[in-house]
Amino acid sequence: MGRKRAFTEDELLDTAEALIVQHGYSSFHLKLLGNHLPGARSTIYQYYANKEEVAAAVMKRAMVRALIKAGAIQESEPVEALRQLLRVYMEEADLHYFLGDARKIDVSQSKKAAQNVKEVLSMLNHLRGQLDRIFQAAQKQGAIRRDMPAVVLAGLFFQLINTPNTLELPPHEWADYLFTLWYEGSGAR
């Protein structure tokens, strides 16, 4: 009888991410994760001690991906920067979902989980700062409405992420289509 193939940490996190998206954080558990990995469930414990550590690592990895992509955006043209940010946020739409669960993680169970959640929230503040900076620059240039608080415009902007792609456009085209709808509704008069 052959041994079960071991899995890498990336494979573990990829599987955990898919399961958290599919089942939600509250229904995610290590037995479920183990059932979807090719090796023995005990291998999970070589990487992480508990559910909280796995979930926090998944969230941190998703946040790092978003932060890298968002950090590559040139902010000199605020409207184009907002378009690019929407693309990033839509590519990383699961991050938006994970952030709702970040505060559900029982960080008292693990210093490692607590550190990862702390880093996730810090990176979130960095992304918010970038978005605020771009919105302020766009308003200063008169590229978006000045008579509406940026926080309201940003709230509407974030709602675009969850809009189902009913036209079945390729992802970037869908993001650009929604951006145009949002921008033309909030553009300078």
Quick: pLDDT tens for 58-109. Answer: 999 999 999 999 999 999 999 999 999 999 999 988 887 778 788 889 999 8
Which pair of tokens denotes residue 81? 């920067």
Q: Dig out the tokens for 146 from the structure.
A: 């000045």
Q: Are residues 27 and 81 in the same domain?
A: no
Number of domains, the chain: 2
Higher pLDDT, 189 or 155: 155
Supply the pLDDT for residue 2: 47
Residues 6 or more apart in contact with residue 67 via CB below 8 angstroms: 123, 126, 127
What gap in Å lies between CA 43 and CA 61, rounded to an integer? 20
User: Kindly report the CA angle at 159 between 151 and 76, in degrees rounded to 5?
Assistant: 55
Residues 56 and 43 in one domain: no
Q: Are 129 and 99 in contact (CB under 8 A)?
A: no
What count of Cα atoms within 13 Å lies in the side-chain half-sphere of residue 105?
Answer: 29
> Can you read off the two tokens belonging to residue 113?
């989980």
Residues 27 and 91 in one domain: no
Q: Contact, 56 vs 117, CB < 8 A?
A: yes
Average pLDDT value for residue range 159-170: 91
pTM score, whole prediction: 0.86
Query: What is the residue range of 149's domain?
Result: 52-186
pLDDT digits (tens, 9 = 90+) for 168-185: 999 999 999 999 998 987
Q: Are 38 and 59 members of one domain?
A: no
Q: Are residues 118 and 163 in the same domain?
A: yes
72 and 154 in a single domain? The answer is yes
Claim to verify: residue 10 and residue 66 sit in the same structural domain: no
Taking residues 145-151, what's their average pLDDT? 88
CA angle at residue 55 from 103 to 95, to 5 degrees? 70
